[in-house]
Amino acid sequence: MILFNASFLVVACLLLTGRYIWKCASSPLRTLPGPKASLFTSLVLKVHEFRALRTRYVHSLHLRYGPVVRLAPNEVSFASLEGIKEIYASGGSGYDKTEFYDLFRVYERRTMFTTLKKEDVRKAVDGVGV
């Protein structure tokens, strides 16, 4: 059977690895400063997290690379007043939420907190009359 063929498994592994590398290398975060390994893996960050040294590690990266640092393929740290204002502005950041908020859905239904698209939140708020 073809699934148990060793060459098929090697080719499948190579294709999956190539796809992952392409995805990381074409990410919009690839241009941000940070350790080279952080472009492909979050393992270094997780090791520091496991050893309870994450904050020291992130601080050392900011000292080395500046106010914006890529920590992992999909994680960035900001250490500037402008970045804090942009992300945590009281009126919202203007960006859509990530799939992380799907963890907080109630019986698979969206709430104001779990709605991902900013325009959907705006429609809901307008409908309430706030």
The structural domains of the chain, with segments of one domain joined by +, span 29-87, 96-130
Q: What is the pLDDT of residues 36-87, one digit of tens each?
A: 888 888 999 999 999 999 999 999 999 999 999 999 888 889 888 887 777 7
What was the pLDDT predicted at 47? 95
Q: Which residues 6+ apart lie within 8 Å of 124 measured at CB?
A: 112, 115
Q: End-to-end distance of the chain based on CA atoms, in angstroms?
A: 62
What was the pLDDT predicted at 57? 95
Task: Pick the more confident residue, 12 or 86.
Answer: 12
- What is the reported pTM? 0.60
14 pLDDT higher than 90: no
Q: What is the mean pLDDT of the chain?
A: 81
Tokens of 71: 């920590």
What was the pLDDT predicted at 45? 93
DSSP letter for 67, please. S
